[in-house]
Amino acid sequence: FQASTESSSGTSSQVLSVPGYPPFELGKSRFDQSVFSGRLRHFFNVIDPRTLLVNDSGLQRSVQLLEAFKSGTVPPGTTTRDLWEAQKVKDAILHPDTGKKIYRPFRMSGFVPYGTPIVVGLLLPTAALFWQWLNQSHNAAVNYANRNASKETPVSRFLTGYVGAVSAAVSIAVGLTVVIRKANTLPPATKMLIQKFVPLPAVSTASTLNVLLMRNSELSEGIEVFDENRQVVGTSKVAAKRAIFDTAKTRAILPVPLLLIPPLVMTFLEKRSFLRRFPRLHLPVHALVVTAAFGGALPVAIALFPQISAIAPKDLEPELQATVAPGCKELYYNKGL
């Protein structure tokens, strides 16, 4: 360890440096958010399921340590690792706009643990309607819990998005399944292979619509934009449009590896003698493959765009441009996840 002086908001305190952990910056990421690799490492941190095990007292300790850093009164022996871990815990549990706790199943760190059984169900040939409904219900709750909440969203908007997304997913899934079943000219093996990929267009389309419908109130009301000191400059519909469409792109891309890789891997494994000898292991192996694909695909998809995204003042509404301080080149907004 080496002693170093960290500062925030004009205060400073002695914090011990730890190899591998950069000097702590309150409210910033430990990794470079200007490049994809940095965002990928950041979001692997964000989805770390171990934060689901942190109880209320652990969260309180993390918040208190960050407040102590802000006021320059951190306890002796505090390290940069302690501070980055405290911020990781806080960011995983509390919404950045409201400061309220997000329920475990709807946190990004809970997306894989709680979502994997649903994805496994989507790949099964039975009960397609049920799994589509459950998947879009979970997605709707995650989108709502991780939205930009600088402006309050009416419950009626949530219900509209929920009904729209579920209806789209179920309609597409049922329609494609019926078409395939009526395609009698296809060989049975080909029909079975195509059926494995039926969930892909349904889930990808519905997941995109889910975001657009769940957060459509932001388009009419706008979201807050702020400067590098987190001082709110105003409310922008232009920033809201970028935030929603960037998030929608990640939702469109996310199902692709989830619903392509497992069927391909399972088709390969089903031809091996191992699963033929132990057919009861089919579902556990399937679940393991899906979990691995899910855990790898999620951070890649959400790392396409930084959560705290930048926008040039000249791209904002004219009335907002007039309020920006001279020389300011970038403003920021919370894209949501």
More confident residue, 181 or 15: 15
Alpha helices in 47-145 (DSSP H): 56-71, 80-93, 111-122, 128-145
Do residue 124 and residue 83 come from a single domain? Answer: no
Residue 208 lies in a domain: yes
pLDDT band at 196 (very low <50, low <70, confident <90, very high): low
Q: What is the pLDDT of residues 302-321, one digit of tens each?
A: 888 888 888 988 888 888 88
Q: Which of 93, 114, 139 is the last residue of a domain?
A: 93
Do residue 237 and residue 288 come from a single domain? Answer: yes
Integer CA distances (angstroms), 55 to 61, 210, 281, in order? 10, 31, 35
Do residue 214 and residue 127 come from a single domain? Answer: yes
pLDDT of 181 reads 67
Which of 222, 260, 250, 253 minimizes the C-alpha distance to 307? 250
- Mean pLDDT is lowest, of 39-53, 154-168, 171-185, for 171-185
Do residue 69 and residue 150 come from a single domain? Answer: no
- How far is 147 from 189, CA to CA, in rounded Å? 43
Do residue 86 and residue 231 come from a single domain? Answer: no
Residue 118 lies in a domain: yes
Full residue range of the structural domain in which residue 218 is found: 104-334
pLDDT over 70 at 50, yes or no: yes
The residue-averaged pLDDT of 266-286 equals: 81
Do residue 197 and residue 314 come from a single domain? Answer: yes
For residues 180 and 191, the answer to whether their CB atoms sit within 8 Å is yes
Residue 30 lies in a domain: no
Do residue 86 and residue 168 come from a single domain? Answer: no
Residue 21 lies in a domain: no
Do residue 70 and residue 212 come from a single domain? Answer: no
Number of domains in the chain: 2
- Burial zone of 239 (CB within 10 Å; 0-12 exposed, 13-18 middle, 19+ buried): buried
Residue 25 lies in a domain: no
Do residue 257 and residue 309 come from a single domain? Answer: yes
Do residue 133 and residue 247 come from a single domain? Answer: yes
Do residue 183 and residue 318 come from a single domain? Answer: yes
